Amino acid sequence: MTDPIADMLTRIRNAQAVRKTEIFLSFSNFKYSLANILAKEGWIESAEKKVSGVKNLDEIGIKLKYHKSGKPTIMSLKRISKPGRRVYADYDHLPYVLNGLGMAIISTSRGLMTNKEARRAKIGGEVVCEIY
């Protein structure tokens, strides 16, 4: 697989399109950190690591979140920096998503963080995705 992060975001979008409540992804530290940020910011209900006996078969269980009306909380989930075109931003040029209603996830030297956290810490990095 060329881009496992794009695959993760596509699986979340597809699962919400058919109103699934939970999805499972193969485990990687980057995907787990990304899922934890989405859970911490309230875009998904929870993300937890499912440990199996074999090292390479660990999974991430993601519980999706919906409004009372049945609409998903995530309206758009878009990959910005791709393997063919990396997108980097200084801390003073970090994107504002939907005038602050959405968020961007930035991969920095201190790990993954939201655009607001990166702006507060005055640190830039690779713009991984945007969500609103």
pLDDT digits (tens, 9 = 90+) for 88-121: 999 999 999 999 999 999 999 999 999 999 999 9
pLDDT digits (tens, 9 = 90+) for 39-78: 999 999 999 999 887 777 899 999 999 999 999 999 999 9
Is-above-0.85 flag for pTM? yes
Per CATH, the number for 77-131 is: 3.30.1490.10
- The topology under which CATH files domain 4-64 is Ribosomal Protein S8; Chain: A, domain 1 (3.30.1370)
| Domain range annotation of the chain | 4-64, 77-131
Q: How far apart (Å, rounded) are the C-alpha atoms in residues 89 and 94? A: 6
Q: How far apart (Å, rounded) are the C-alpha atoms in residues 30 and 44? A: 17
